[in-house]
Chain A
């Protein structure tokens, strides 16, 4: 017994080191688990407020760039409106139905912290539970997808960026319905990988990739990016595709959080099916 106590006293520094190291390893493994996020995350009031103060100052340095992004988006939307106006409306008969209420609503949110140079990147937004944001809502920028809401507090939320090893998004080719999963190989923040596209799919370099709409998170057809490289893996019969995203992940200022009206319904239905 005495020897045991002496051992603890002599090696207390090493023992404390091992204890603290194990504690941090537990935290890491916990954050690696799917559907479970970091125990400590930047959606809390302390880091949220700090980031929003710093982000408020920082945002003044990029006003010109942000203006031009907004102007571009405006012109694109205007073009869409003018196209719709030239369609001969009386020929289409619209039935008034409650299902015509928009299924998706888009809430603007300010980016107060953005990581893109790490292996697992998160974005912090100044929008939270008070504004109706929940976990697993999609986040897009004016150009394309950004990520999925991960942690939510009252006024802030963190986004699991598409530049994260856990990120996996259902995506398809714009011109056909062949779909695959969009992942990131943790190397280049300007290149994402589309996997599981079968060899019979008509894929060409320069094709556009959009979201597949096979989940309750993103609506169908949100642009993702264009195909940069592709090669066919002969052994597995699937394409390995590099996608260059439309969203410049290094330069985000405002994003939209997507709310799906039927999310709860879809989820409960899927749960019933799985049981």
Chain B
């Protein structure tokens, strides 16, 4: 249990630093910034308490907000993603979500893509609509949500596979 918390803490810090020091500077020509810290919501243990999941997600978002001077938009997006994750996992895994102790890494490739894409879409929708805060730019924001979500999903899956634990 404590080992698990330690791992989560390390992941929290590494993702925060990765995001603010590397991926925020990775601006493609179409002004798309991937928010790879969504990996935190993907890899957070499924059996862990939901309350601690909500709180740590909120803190992660708040820390990102501090670095990006964005008020609280990342905190709002993060806590929303954390709140809706069980529903998504239930939809993807079906009955086995409740009966077995599942892990994200045990999912099939297809399931993984769906989970990552859905979580990213929730996160980015909240984030970008709060960021723009202007319904005149609705279509612009929607395009941005989808473009960035695709980019974030690809990068997140690559990163998760790159840093998988070596013990098998």
Contacts and interface: CB of A to CB of B under 8 A. Distances in A.
Given A44-B66, A117-B32, A120-B131, A38 B51 contact: no
A269 to B, nearest CB: 32
B27 interface: yes
A58 B20 CA distance: 13
A24 B132 contact: no
B166 interface: no
Contact of A186 (B67, B82, B137): B137
A158 B71 CA distance: 13
A117 B132 CA distance: 12
Contacts, number: 112
B75 interface: yes
B80 interface: yes
A17 B83 contact: yes
A13 B54 contact: yes
A40 to B, nearest CB: 4
A16 interface: yes
Interface residues of B, number: 38
A16 B54 contact: yes
Contacts of B80: 17, 21
Contacts of A104: none
A30 interface: yes
B58 A20 contact: yes
Interface string A156-193: 00100000010000000000000000000011010000
B71 A31 contact: yes
Q: Which of the four size classes fits the interface of chain A? A: 35 or more
B31 interface: yes
Nearest to B128: A119
B66 A42 contact: yes
A140 B133 CA distance: 28
Given A23-B75, A27-B71, A28-B71, 6 more contacts: A16-B54, A28-B73, A40-B65, A119-B128, A186-B134, A186-B137
19 contacts: A14-B83, A16-B55, A20-B75, A21-B80, A23-B72, A24-B73, A24-B76, A26-B72, A27-B75, A31-B70, A58-B25, A115-B68, A115-B69, A116-B27, A117-B33, A118-B33, A118-B70, A122-B69, A150-B69
Q: Which 10 A-B pairs have the closest CB atoms?
A: A31-B71, A27-B72, A24-B72, A24-B75, A24-B76, A122-B69, A40-B66, A117-B31, A28-B71, A117-B27
Interface of A: 12-14, 16-17, 20-21, 23-28, 30-32, 37-42, 44, 46-47, 50-51, 54, 58, 113, 115-120, 122, 150-151, 158, 165, 186-187, 189, 250
